[in-house]
Amino acid sequence: MTPFGARLRELRRERGLALGEMAAGLGVTPAYLSALERGHRGRPNRRFVHRVCQYLGIIWDEAEALQRLADLSHPRVRVDTANLNHRATLLANRLAERIAELPPERIETLLRLIEEE
C-alpha cells in the first residue's frame, strides 16, 4: 500500500462510500481504484488527485497534503546516488536490501530521523 492509497481508502471509508460508488463518481473502474488503494498502481497524476479532491470536497491544506502523499507514492522507487558520497550509496543499497524485514516501529524511527530538519 502507498501513502496515497492508504489515505484514499481512509477518506472513502470515513465518508461511507463503497469502492464502486467512488469509482463511478471519479470516472474510473472499481478495479483501478482498488489497485490504487492497495499500491498496485503507480502514483496518480495531478489531474486525478484534483478530481478526488473535488469529489470528496477537499480543499486548501488537506488538498495539498493529499497531493504531497500522491507525490510520495510511487511503489517502485529509484534512488540516484550518483555524485553523492559513497556512504549515501551504501545507505540506499542497505535500505533496499532490508526494508521488507524492518518492523513498523523501526520504519517510523527512520522516517522521523529523515523528516527532521
pLDDT digits (tens, 9 = 90+) for 47-106: 999 999 999 999 999 999 999 999 999 888 899 999 999 999 999 999 999 999 999 999
Backbone angles phi, psi at 15, to 5 degrees: -90, 0
- Identify the pLDDT of residue 82: 96
Instruction: Say yes or no to pLDDT of 117 above 80.
Output: no
Residues 6+ apart with CB under 8 A from 74: 2, 42, 43
Average pLDDT over residues 9-28: 97
Average pLDDT over residues 32-48: 95
Instruction: Say yes or no to pLDDT of 22 above 70.
Output: yes
Average pLDDT over residues 40-47: 93
AA letter at 78:
R
- Work out how many domains the chain is built from and give that number: 2
43-68: burial string, b at 16+ Cβ within 10 Å, e else = bbeeebbebbbebbebeeeebeebbe
Q: Say if residue 40 is in the same domain as residue 96.
A: no
Q: Say if residue 25 is in the same domain as residue 59.
A: yes
Residue 98 in domain: yes
Residue 77 in domain: no
- Identify the pLDDT of residue 18: 98
Stated pTM of the model: 0.80
The domain in which residue 100 lies consists of 86-115
Residue 30 in domain: yes
Q: Say if residue 15 is in the same domain as residue 64.
A: yes
